[in-house]
Structure 1
Amino acid sequence: MSDVKQTYRLQGLSCTNCAAKFEKNIQQIDGVTAVDLNFGASKVTVHGEATIEELEKAGAFDKIKVYPERESSPKTHLPFWKNKQYITMTISLLFIISGYILEWNTSEGNLLALASFVLAIIIGGYALFIEGLKNLARLNFDMKTLMTIAIIGAALIGEWEEAAIVVLLFAISELLESYSMDKARQSLSSLLELAPKRAVLQRDNELIEVDVEDIQVSDTIVVKPGEKIAMDGEISEGESSVNQAPITGESIPVYKTRGDQVFAGSINEQGALKVKVTKRVEDTTIAKIIHLVEEAQAEKAPAQKFIDQFAKYYTPAILLLAALVILIPPVFFQADFNAWLYTGLAVLVVGCPCALVISTPVAIVTAIGNAARNGVLIKGGIHLEQTGNLDAIAFDKTGTLTEGKPEVTSVISISEKTKDEILQIAAAIETYSEHPLAIAIIKKADGLEKLSASSFQSYTGKGASAEINGEILKVGNRALFEDVQQPFENNEDLIGKTVIFVGNEQEVFGYITVSDRPRHNVKKVMQQMKELGIKHTVMLTGDSSSVANVIAKELAITDVKAELLPEDKLAAISDLEAEYGRVAMIGDGINDGPALAKANIGIAMGGAGSDTALETADIVLMEDDLIKVPYVIKLSKKTRRIMIENIMLALGLKVIALLLIIPGWLTLWLAIIADMGATLLVVLNALRLARTYK
């Protein structure tokens, strides 16, 4: 059995029922072991052996075209005179017009009028009838089966004009549905076009243009001013302003120079750059974004799962209702059979489930695509739906609420040690640490004589110790020195600052104060979230309560949980869920991985530079900017509202049309307009999500 797996992009996949049938047809191809079809992203993954020709044959019933994954489907549409669907629809329309002219103006022309309507039905509905009759033979009652029954039934009772109009309106509705789904998928297709397919490679002092698939890690590419960067990499030569908006959503270009990281799909605005490639084309940040967005669009939201389940019972119910409408009046009330057969056929048409089953996925596809275009990855419909229903949001302090770049503000000696000696000791011990506070101390000690430290030992949540000049010395918070007398007094100069003690087992030599500036827009973010209905915002930090409370007050954060060890954050999230309900956790996606996973919604910042963040969180902010959190909440709330509106629209229009049975006003053409109108309205309503901005 073959383990070959190939992924293809699809063109012309606009109906969920058609997607299910296409998937079933592929499964019947010899050599295919499994199929995964992603309707939202218009992609299919085939496990086993199958050619593009075989796949297109499996989708011939709906004229589905198949393309390799890295080859985007062509955007150019065939000219009118080359598009078979347009041609047959136009000829059908002309015959309908001719039929009406002959019927109105020629007293003896009824036979010619009838011939015109019959030709309109045959030419416009031939492909529909072939597929509908095949489905009928298999007892598969999809939209095309119901339409075929209705049109043939209308013709059999002599309603040729109505049958011809239904054929025409159905063709129009299919074109509109296809166009609308293409618009809904536009955000994703625009992502596919971000990164160039070719790049200029420097090899042995020669510049050659190659496909990006042929570029290897450690190769050097040359990017001229105004060009898009083709691969993720590190600048090895040159400097420039780089527009990273396609990746991070950040509108202001970022200055980049030697050693800085750049992303495929971003735009080099000024100087020429040489970039050392750090990732293969399939591993670039933009490739991962596209992959995650496509996976997210395939994952069904709770509302979507409910509608899919509802649709299983909806279609049989419509068939039963149509049968009852046809049979009960003639059998029990001696009504005209032909008249009620006509009404029953109209019930079949108006009962097509297309608008209902597309009402939620089109909203999810549009919203997730919009978010990706604005530098936010939402990894599934369930996360999109839940984000608008949060009760509290917990924030990690360092690097999330603050800039994550702490600076030493003072060094104070309370012993015979000088300030420089205290700083030297702290820097020697912290050399082995990756903590942001350690980096700040080492940076401050730059220029001082370096001491040699050995026997390093870390104490989680407290600090560290090491042997220097034969003596065990320690650096850390109060908890590390709990057995040592600490002649330390609170004063106004230390309010809001982190205090790091330096000493040995017997005494404290002095302390170092470190401050990390809050992000400039955090207070604005908190205000916006309050306006969006988030009543509880919580800071989670390992800092002392005094430091945390000062920062929380400055940033208008409602609650603080301080002096937490890393493992305590999990318990803190559980406590918040018990106290408030649905909780989101926002962190860097690296140190906060377990807490992000524990929360109802995990949101990671700075995903553009972190593979870990891309993998661990439910939602990833590609840029280090909390202003996108209110945007996501607003997008989620709008998506939920539009999904409810779509379900009400789809069902409401059908109920209104069905109620027209009572006065006898429901006609076949009115039924298909109701069905077509419902489908068009839910798609257009969902497309409003594409206009949701930060």
Structure 2
Amino acid sequence: MKHEHQHDANGKEIGCTVDEKTKSKNNNQSGCCSAHNETESHSDEDGHDHDHSGGNQTMFQMFLPAVISFALLLIAIGFDNYFPQTWFTGWVRIAWYIVAYVPVGFPVLKEAVESIRKGEIFSEFLLMCIATIGAFAIGEYPEGVAVMLFYAIGEVFQTLAVQRAKSNIKLLLDQRPDEATVLKDGNPTIKKASEITIGEIIQLKSGEKLALDGTLLTDTATFNTAALTGESKPDTKLKGETVLAGMINLNTIAQVEVTTAYTDSKLSKILEMVQEATAKKAPTELFIRKFAKIYTPIVVYLAIAICVLPMFFVDNYVFRDWLYRALVFLVISCPCALVISIPLGYFGGIGASSKNGILFKGSSFLDIMASIQVVVMDKTGTLTKGVFNVQKVVAVGISEDDLVKFTAALETKSTHPVGTAIIEYAKGKEKNVTVTDVEEIAGHGLKGKTNGNEILAGNVKLMKKFNISYDAEIDNTPFTIIVIAINQKYAGYFLIADEIKEDAKQAIESLHKINIKTVMLSGDKQAVVDAVAKELNIDQAYGDLLPENKVEKVEELKSQNLKIAFVGDGVNDAPVVALADAGIAMGGLGSDATIETADIVIQNDQPYKIYTAINIGKKTKQIVWQNIGLAFTVKAVVLVLGAGGLATMWEAVFADVGVALLAILNAVRIQKMKF
């Protein structure tokens, strides 16, 4: 991917565009391990490119230089210590070790020269070059080759770790087919996906991936949505429902009318958000990069001091011995473990969240989610499905089946959403009923005749208008109630409400377990909000709120110095999403405005993913700080030992490459975790 970063006058990154057809090949480094790496290119806070790219190499090609050097080094050590050869002396011996050094040393020497040319003098590459060439200068040829060899092996393992961390995100890149079958005058034609226009009809065979967002024209079709939502369970769509690019058709041939241009599809936006996320650094990551820029030149000067200053204070000063100590000090001081494992830890967190259908728009939001204290949620579309359904039917003096079909038949003459819910619940039973003399009574309901029986369907005011007594408990119900009377006698009621999502209760319970307070804000009437809050055990709930009232509530919480995440899905939620420390959008049903404003997007609209996002943030931060502690502790100990002449080049190798490998292995653990 090519990332074109834009900066303001202060050098702060303000944007990033993604060109999916090209790869950045810049090699300007600043203390970042990357002589042999492939696949990743990113920019630091100053806009310098860091390219983890060695071309499209196979694993064999990546390990080949190290294998050659290792074989030559083993043979040389054998000749030196176990199988002495008369010819293996003098310039022949030196030449052999130089040949062993070149496969792994030349790429690093090249990077060091390139860094110096671009103004990055004190890079990690320069440290490695000084240390290994210095080892050759004092006759420590095996150690000079070994240090660079282990460094090269560490680089390859780092490359593999980066590739693994990116694998979940790369899966997204494979979800958009380049071509699609378009129907023209009933005839199927293969067409480039990027050239398909809105309104055209795509024919999707079983097993094919959808190339663009659209509306399903077929009566029903089942799709695998895992790439978009992280949900492995197949999703059955009905005619007229929205289907998204990247979904895989699982059964019959389906036809989809395109509603969104190729570049504007939800999957395109997901790809752009994930790619931009890798360029937005967490505060810890930025600190480590700044630290490395200051730290690296300091250790170079300290190494010079270790070599030269003892000349004035030590009686039996031997230049070779103190130079060796300085070289050991340089190898130990390489900040590889810090500047690689920490970004890799955050990148792993972004990859793990993508795998779970959660998109972080930057690694900084992983840190924020790890410290969230209050989760504020909208009700409709976030905790509830946002669709009115019949939740309960009570029939009095008549069968439930007759009550449903008579009421549904009458409601076919109404356009009210509540009437639509009853018609859908009836599932076609009303078609066998004759409806006549329908009259709509404004603000009350409907009156008419079904199969010759007079029927009233409406609110309690309608019953009172016609002096019909009804069950008194209905007056205490917060949800929408449609009361029915047949031939002037109370016949029962329909309870209609927005259905709570299946995992909403589990989400709230999980948040409470990690001591996070839950608050619900809604524009619905307070009685309805209280009922939902009671069922889900939400700590605080506020109803009858306008968008500006939601903003006021969030500002009130922020004034208490609490870290707040707000979760919403509607256009009116966008201002609150922007105000919160972490704005979370429900991406499946959510509006584009909210998704664009949000810092985190939950692709499958499941409230439980809020807990998952917080958990991933906590695990990522934990791993990052484990790596920081490990790197600083080991390096500090070995640096002191090296300066005192108690550590050899081999301990230095462990302190640099060994710790880096341990930190990398720790960082990729998050990829295997289940959330």
**TM-score normalised by structure 2 residue count:** 0.79
Counterpart of 1:125 in structure 2: which amino acid?
Answer: G
Following the alignment from structure 2 to structure 1, what is the Cα–Cα distance between the partners of residues 353 and 541? 30
Following the alignment from structure 1 to structure 2, what is the Cα–Cα distance between the partners of residues 596 and 581? 15
Aligned match of 1:90 = 67
Alignment of 1:499-648 (within 5 A): 514-534=496-516, 536-579=517-560, 581-607=562-588, 610-648=591-629
- Distance change (3 Å), C-alpha of 1:384 and 1:89: closer
Q: How far apart are residue 358 of structure 1 and its match?
A: 2.0
When structure 1 is superposed on structure 2, of 100-109 and 512-521 the one drifting more is 512-521
Aligned match of 1:658 = 639
Q: Secondary structure at the match of 1:288?
A: helix
CA-to-aligned-CA distance 1:396-451 (integer Å, 9 cap, x gap):
2223222222347799xxxxxxxxxxx99x999997xxxx7797699899989888
Counterpart of 2:74 in structure 1: which amino acid?
Answer: I
Contact 1:92 1:123 in 2 (8 A): yes
Q: Secondary structure at the match of 1:393?
A: strand
- Distance change (3 Å), C-alpha of 1:517 and 1:496: farther
Contact 2:325 2:643 in 1 (8 A): no
| Pairing 1:103–2:80 present | yes
| Pairing 1:173–2:154 present | yes
- Distance change (3 Å), C-alpha of 1:648 and 1:388: same
Following the alignment from structure 2 to structure 1, what is the Cα–Cα distance between the partners of residues 372 and 168? 26
Q: How far apart are residue 529 of structure 1 and its match?
A: 0.7
Following the alignment from structure 1 to structure 2, what is the Cα–Cα distance between the partners of residues 357 and 183? 18
Q: How far apart are residue 128 of structure 1 and its match?
A: 2.7
Query: What RMSD in Å do the two structures reach over aligned CA positions?
Result: 4.3
Q: How far apart are residue 363 of structure 1 and its match?
A: 1.5
Counterpart of 1:385 in structure 2: which amino acid?
Answer: D
Following the alignment from structure 2 to structure 1, what is the Cα–Cα distance between the partners of residues 361 and 504? 24
Instruction: Tell me the matched-pair count.
Output: 607
CA-to-aligned-CA distance 1:337-370 (integer Å, 9 cap, x gap):
1111111111111111222122322122111122
Contact 1:606 1:622 in 2 (8 A): yes
Q: How far apart are residue 577 of structure 1 and its match?
A: 2.2
CA-to-aligned-CA distance 1:211-240 (integer Å, 9 cap, x gap):
322322222222111222222222223532
Q: How far apart are residue 303 of structure 1 and its match?
A: 1.3
Contact 2:34 2:52 in 1 (8 A): no
Q: How far apart are residue 20 of structure 1 and its match?
A: 12
CA-to-aligned-CA distance 1:482-502 (integer Å, 9 cap, x gap):
xxxxxx999643445246999
Counterpart of 1:374 in structure 2: which amino acid?
Answer: N
Aligned match of 1:71 = none
Contact 2:585 2:602 in 1 (8 A): yes
Counterpart of 2:372 in structure 1: which amino acid?
Answer: L
Following the alignment from structure 2 to structure 1, what is the Cα–Cα distance between the partners of residues 477 and 376? 20
Q: Secondary structure at the match of 2:202?
A: strand
Q: Secondary structure at the match of 2:176?
A: coil
Contact 2:31 2:335 in 1 (8 A): no
Counterpart of 1:100 in structure 2: which amino acid?
Answer: I
Aligned match of 2:333 = 351
Aligned match of 2:270 = 289
Q: Secondary structure at the match of 1:106?
A: coil
| Pairing 1:273–2:254 present | yes
Alignment of 1:235-274 (within 5 A): 235-237=216-218, 239-274=220-255
Which residue of the other structure, out of 30, 36, 57, is the alignment partner of 1:17? 30
Give the share of equivalent positions with the same residue, in percent: 33
Q: Secondary structure at the match of 1:162?
A: helix
Aligned match of 2:667 = 686
Contact 1:99 1:114 in 2 (8 A): no
Contact 2:207 2:251 in 1 (8 A): yes
| Pairing 1:380–2:362 present | yes
- Distance change (3 Å), C-alpha of 1:581 and 1:261: same
Aligned match of 2:388 = 406
Q: Secondary structure at the match of 1:310?
A: helix
- Distance change (3 Å), C-alpha of 1:495 and 1:326: farther
Q: How far apart are residue 13 of structure 1 and its match?
A: 8.3
Q: Secondary structure at the match of 1:312?
A: helix
Following the alignment from structure 2 to structure 1, what is the Cα–Cα distance between the partners of residues 290 and 177? 42
Counterpart of 1:629 in structure 2: which amino acid?
Answer: I
Q: How far apart are residue 626 of structure 1 and its match?
A: 0.8
CA-to-aligned-CA distance 1:512-566 (integer Å, 9 cap, x gap):
97533322332221111111221x2112123444433332222111112233233
Q: How far apart are residue 610 of structure 1 and its match?
A: 4.0
Q: Secondary structure at the match of 1:529?
A: helix
Q: Secondary structure at the match of 1:319?
A: helix
Alignment of 1:441-452 (within 5 A): none
Q: Secondary structure at the match of 2:571?
A: coil
| Pairing 1:371–2:353 present | yes
Contact 1:201 1:220 in 2 (8 A): yes
- Distance change (3 Å), C-alpha of 1:528 and 1:315: same
- Distance change (3 Å), C-alpha of 1:692 and 1:157: same
Following the alignment from structure 2 to structure 1, what is the Cα–Cα distance between the partners of residues 605 and 99? 63
Q: Extract unaligned runs of 5+ from structure 1.
A: 23-38, 45-57, 66-73, 412-422, 455-463, 466-474, 479-487, 503-510
Aligned match of 1:203 = 184
Following the alignment from structure 1 to structure 2, what is the Cα–Cα distance between the partners of residues 514 and 132? 70
- Distance change (3 Å), C-alpha of 1:551 and 1:204: closer
When structure 1 is superposed on structure 2, of 306-315 and 130-139 the one drifting more is 130-139
Following the alignment from structure 1 to structure 2, what is the Cα–Cα distance between the partners of residues 548 and 126? 68
- Distance change (3 Å), C-alpha of 1:550 and 1:207: closer
Following the alignment from structure 1 to structure 2, what is the Cα–Cα distance between the partners of residues 312 and 345? 20
Contact 1:392 1:582 in 2 (8 A): yes
Aligned match of 2:9 = none
Counterpart of 2:355 in structure 1: which amino acid?
Answer: R
- Distance change (3 Å), C-alpha of 1:170 and 1:519: closer
Alignment of 1:95-134 (within 5 A): 95-104=72-81, 105-106=83-84, 108=86, 109-111=88-90, 112-133=92-113
Aligned match of 1:325 = 306
Aligned match of 1:192 = 173
**TM-score normalised by structure 1 residue count:** 0.77
Q: How far apart are residue 19 of structure 1 and its match?
A: 8.1
Q: Secondary structure at the match of 1:221?
A: strand
Following the alignment from structure 2 to structure 1, what is the Cα–Cα distance between the partners of residues 32 and 330? 21
Counterpart of 2:674 in structure 1: which amino acid?
Answer: Y
CA-to-aligned-CA distance 1:256-296 (integer Å, 9 cap, x gap):
23322212211111111122222232222211111101111
Q: Secondary structure at the match of 2:163?
A: helix
| Pairing 1:305–2:286 present | yes
Contact 1:13 1:178 in 2 (8 A): no
Alignment of 1:51-70 (within 5 A): 64-65=54-55
Following the alignment from structure 1 to structure 2, what is the Cα–Cα distance between the partners of residues 14 and 139? 11
Counterpart of 2:508 in structure 1: which amino acid?
Answer: M
- Distance change (3 Å), C-alpha of 1:271 and 1:578: same
Q: Secondary structure at the match of 1:201?
A: strand
CA-to-aligned-CA distance 1:623-645 (integer Å, 9 cap, x gap):
12111111111111101111111
Q: How far apart are residue 142 of structure 1 and its match?
A: 0.8
CA-to-aligned-CA distance 1:628-684 (integer Å, 9 cap, x gap):
111111111101111111211222221122132255232223323321122222222
Following the alignment from structure 1 to structure 2, what is the Cα–Cα distance between the partners of residues 564 and 175? 56
